[in-house]
Amino acid sequence: MTDYRLSPEITTQAQQKFSQLMVTRTLLESEKLSQGVSASRLYAYANGSLLYPQSDLDKALGQNLSLRRTYKSMVSKVASFYLPESLAASSDALPTREGEGCRISLKKSRAEPDQIYIIVELTKERDAHAEVLVVCGEDDLLAQIALPTPRNGVSQVIVEKNSEILTLLADPKSEAYVR
Amino acid sequence: MEDSTSRKIAVYIATTGGPVRVERITQEPAPQSVVCLRRSSEVLPISGDYDDFVKPGSGVIVREFGPFEDNAFRLDLSGSISAGKSWQFGVFIAHALDAAQGYALAESDDEAEEIFWLTGLVDYDLNLGPVNHIPEKLEASQLSFETWKASGKNITLCLSQKQNSEEIPALPGIEVLGLNNAMELLTVKGIYSAASSSDVIAVEPIPVTPPPPKKKSYKIWWWLIGGIALAGFIYQGYLMSLALMGVSTRGAAPIKTVQLPAPPLTSKTTPTPTSPKLERKGPEKKIYSLAESLISGIERSRKALVEKGDKYQYNDPPRVVLWPFGQDNFSLNPRAEKKLNDRLVSALLEMGSGEFTFMARDELKTIIEDMEATGALDDQGGKDPIAALLKDASNIDIMIKGSAVTDGDASLISFKAVRMDGVILAQTEPKRFKIKLRKRQQAAVKADPKIGSFTLRMRAERELYRVGEKLNLKLKLTKNAWVYCFYDQANGEIVQIFPNPPFWKSHKEPLLLGSRDYTIPGETVFPFDLIVSLPLGQEKIICYAADRNVTDTLPGELQGRSLDPIPNHTTSGIEAIFQGLPGTKVTRSDIEITVSE
């Protein structure tokens, strides 16, 4: 008989995966969660057919960890651009993030130092789809923000320095998607 | 360039919601210029146009006042401006003051030595163009004018010389300038001599020898208090000074003024006696303006139609109803909706009393509820109140139907007066009300699953478009289908945009593939631009997808052989044709957009 013991990391990963699968199954089978989120609606939100923002979905995503994971999984499949976590932690307080065909940089406003520009540059396909920036943190935190229609391949928004999305973007281990 | 001795000038941009002050201009290390609301991170929708106005190539700011370390600016405004381009003149002058030595933008009215109230378009050659809504902008600024005057400020109201002077009433204590070129204000106010950062507005003597300088003229109206009282209003006679100066935009000359006698008063220029309209403020004023547009529009259209031989039989007097807002495809707070409708009805009653009979809203609601209960509304597609009421409400002549779209933290609300045969008699321009829609209206309208077994989905980038902007749509089908799209303009004309003559040159049938994203316009399927143009108001794009090629079954004018307006068809009629196609499953998707100045 083989005695196989799971390491704590694998146990945690497995629990997360099972939880995610369970939510996905629940969504697909019952079509509704307790918060009233259907699978089709969540997918529509992820792929952009349902316009951002949707307050009920955002609320549900904020409250339900498994739903967030499912949503992140969906976004990762449909996003136009993926900007992965940095390989090395940057000492730069406002790091630039590079992805295939897309770059995200942060600039401090000179007029209002507590406000930061998030600048999304589409470096290859300038008219590619870029409506929402989704940032997923290491601890399954998730924040997203609507992007204005890119002009000459650039879309920029201003956020407060202490906003959740900026905190996540500044974390080199977070992952960003542009969908 | 500000220093402690700078002369502070408050620059206000005239808007229909009241004057908006340019609070601050800052160079920013960002790729694009932005307009922000009250120093917050809220970016206003005019930012894209502002960026174009600033950057070299398309714009004039960097060209005239640059170069700068960063060619992007952040402009902070004291209030929201959501559409239009009449802010250009105010923004241009604000940048000029920011660049001029010895001058600075006042950060508050208290520190302002002078106040500029500006509106106008500025083209690439700095020509100052006229804009719409001057009376509304003036009315919305009345309170500010009074406050500024009470605090002893010098006020200069400046607009294009091409502006209709009849739109400008007597404004005692306010200097009114009509100019040809945006630079002329700097010259007139002596700012040019201080703006040493740019040679563009540096002083150059006017040559006295040939070649003679090109003569440009501008008008100055000085409104002085007169002694004519008209029903409680003191009408100020005015003295018109016409100044002629030989000046190019790069130079200045001594101003020669010629005093002219006051022109005779005509019925158009004479201020009216005290009227309820002039005393109204805020939302009330907007509602009365909407009511006035509807009543005058209905009367104008009826007259024009009769002259063209229209035989429509109205009740005597015509019966008018207001379609309940809450029944439409957007969600207005019920209390706000009731208040808005009730106020509009009372304004309509006041203005159209005797000429129209206004039916109670509840009466209409009862008819609609009856129709819903009996399924009559479903028979009509459930969406089109005009079509639904056609058969069952024959005692109604005209229906007034409201529409709303979100505009930041408010809503743009407009009304349409539609005759029961579908002819649009009046269409108001959208007015901004501080009413939040209950939930965000979606541009994408899902197809009615009852109609077809597949779906057609259309999306626009946004709901509000300005005149001159390109309209881009995304279209997607869940399976292959034959598609026919129509553009329903605010003036009632319908144009078929797909299929279209260029499309037929390379295609045999309007077949679009399922699960593929189509862009309208695009290179092959929709090989032309959709440029949003006048008239202002609500417009709609309607697409039908059929599960077979029905082109030959459709009437010739609906086969997409022309881009001219389709004669003798209404949206309801087209809907009926598509729904009535034998042996065909049809689905529909539509998008409403609002065209604004």
Spell out a b/e string for B222-245, using b for 16 or more CB atoms within 10 Å of the CB, else e.
ebeeeeeeeeebebbebebeeeeb
Mean pLDDT of chain A: 81
Q: HSE of B296 in the Cβ direction (CA atoms, 13 Å)?
A: 7
In this prediction, what percent of chain B has a pLDDT beyond 70? 70
Q: Are the C-beta atoms of B98 and A111 separated by less than 8 Å?
A: no
Residues 6+ apart with CB under 8 A from B311: none
Looking at residue B371, what is its pLDDT? Answer: 53
For residue A133, pLDDT beyond 90: yes
Residues of A in contact with B76 (CB under 8 A): 111
For the segment B214-219, the average pLDDT, to the nearest whole number, is: 32
> B475 vs B43, which has greater pLDDT?
B43
Closest Cα partner for B277 from B298, B266, B293?
B293
Looking at residue B274, what is its pLDDT? Answer: 33
Of A55, A148, A156, Cβ closest to residue B30: A156
* Residue B443 in contact with partner chain A when CB distance is under 8 A: yes
Architecture of the A81-178 domain: Beta Barrel (2.40)
Q: Are the C-beta atoms of B107 and B122 separated by less than 8 Å?
A: no
* Residue B423 in contact with partner chain A when CB distance is under 8 A: no
Residues of B in contact with A160 (CB under 8 A): 41
Which residue is associated with the tokens 């009470």? B150
The rounded distance, in Å, linking the Cα atoms of A159 and A145 is 9
At residue B524 the predicted structure's pLDDT band, cuts being 50, 70 and 90, is: low
Closest Cα partner for B28 from B8, B3, B47?
B47
Q: Which of A127-131, B224-228, B506-510, B528-532 has the lowest mean pLDDT?
A: B224-228
For the segment B143-159, the average pLDDT, to the nearest whole number, is: 89
Nearest CA in chain A to B476: A49
Beta bridge partners of B413: B404, B431
For the segment B102-120, the average pLDDT, to the nearest whole number, is: 90
CB atoms A51 and B24 under 8 Å? no
Looking at residue B525, what is its pLDDT? Answer: 62
Q: HSE of A107 in the Cβ direction (CA atoms, 13 Å)?
A: 18
* Residue B425, amino acid: L
Query: What's the CA angle centered on B570, arms B569 and B575, to 5 degrees?
Result: 105
Q: Which of A104-108, B17-21, B78-82, B454-458 has the lowest mean pLDDT?
A: B454-458
For residue B380, pLDDT beyond 50: no
For residue B483, pLDDT beyond 60: yes
The rounded distance, in Å, linking the Cα atoms of B159 and B177 is 6
For the segment B86-104, the average pLDDT, to the nearest whole number, is: 90
Which residue is associated with the tokens 């597949």? B454
The rounded distance, in Å, linking the Cα atoms of B403 and B411 is 10
Residues comprising chain A, all counted: 179
B490: DSSP letter: T
SS3 call for A58: helix
For residue A46, pLDDT beyond 50: yes
The rounded distance, in Å, linking the Cα atoms of B87 and B35 is 11
Closest Cα partner for B214 from B177, B176, B181?
B181
Q: Which of B50-54, B113-117, B194-198, B283-287 has the lowest mean pLDDT?
A: B194-198
Q: How far is B547 from chain A (nearest CA, A)?
A: 23
Looking at residue B230, what is its pLDDT? Answer: 27
For the segment A22-49, the average pLDDT, to the nearest whole number, is: 68
- Written in H, E and C, the secondary structure of B393-432 is CCCCCEEEEEEEEEECCEEEEEEEEEECCCCEEEECCCEE
Beta bridge partners of A98: A103
The rounded distance, in Å, linking the Cα atoms of B223 and B218 is 16
For residue B17, pLDDT beyond 60: yes
Looking at residue B307, what is its pLDDT? Answer: 82
Mean pLDDT of chain B: 71
CB atoms B29 and A110 under 8 Å? yes
Nearest CA in chain A to B456: A49
Domain definitions of chain A by residue range: 8-78, 81-178
Looking at residue A134, what is its pLDDT? Answer: 93
Residues of A in contact with B442 (CB under 8 A): 50-51
For the segment B130-139, the average pLDDT, to the nearest whole number, is: 88
The rounded distance, in Å, linking the Cα atoms of B215 and A44 is 62
B12 alpha-carbon distance from chain centroid: 19
Task: Output the six-digit token pair for B172.
Answer: 């005692």
Q: Give yes or no for a cis peptide into B276 (omega within 30° of 0).
A: no
Residues comprising chain B, all counted: 597
For residue B354, pLDDT beyond 80: no
At residue B370 the predicted structure's pLDDT band, cuts being 50, 70 and 90, is: low
B568: DSSP letter: T
Residues of A in contact with B24 (CB under 8 A): 111
Residues of B in contact with A128 (CB under 8 A): none
Beta bridge partners of B115: B10, B155
For the stretch A68-123, pLDDT in tens is 888 888 888 888 899 886 544 445 567 888 888 899 989 999 999 999 999 999 98
Q: Which of A133-142, B168-177, B302-311, B385-394 has the lowest mean pLDDT?
A: B385-394
**CATH 1.10.287 describes domain B276-433:** no
Which residue is associated with the tokens 């024959």? B394
Q: HSE of B546 in the Cβ direction (CA atoms, 13 Å)?
A: 21
Q: Which of A116-130, B48-62, B194-208, B389-403 has the lowest mean pLDDT?
A: B194-208
Query: What's the CA angle centered on B177, arms B174 and B180, to 5 degrees?
Result: 165
Looking at residue B442, what is its pLDDT? Answer: 36
Looking at residue B530, what is its pLDDT? Answer: 73
Most B CBs within 10 A among A45, A107, A147, hence the mutation to make, goes to A107
Domain definitions of chain B by residue range: 7-19+85-260, 276-433, 456-596
Residues of A in contact with B41 (CB under 8 A): 112, 115, 158-160
Residues of B in contact with A151 (CB under 8 A): 32, 48, 51
Task: Output the six-digit token pair for B316.
Answer: 């005597």
Looking at residue A118, what is its pLDDT? Answer: 93
CB atoms A110 and B51 under 8 Å? no
CB atoms A148 and B47 under 8 Å? yes
For the stretch B170-204, pLDDT in tens is 788 888 888 888 888 888 888 764 333 333 333 23
Looking at residue B19, what is its pLDDT? Answer: 93
Looking at residue B155, what is its pLDDT? Answer: 92
> B533 vs B260, which has greater pLDDT?
B533
CA distances to B396, B425, B451, B482, B501 from B542, rounded to whole Å, are: 27, 21, 15, 14, 18
CB atoms B41 and A160 under 8 Å? yes
The rounded distance, in Å, linking the Cα atoms of B588 and B475 is 12
Q: Are the C-beta atoms of B532 and B584 separated by less than 8 Å?
A: no
The complex's ipTM works out to: 0.75
CATH of B456-596, one of 3.40.50.720, 2.60.40.10, 2.60.40.2950, 2.60.120.200: 2.60.40.2950
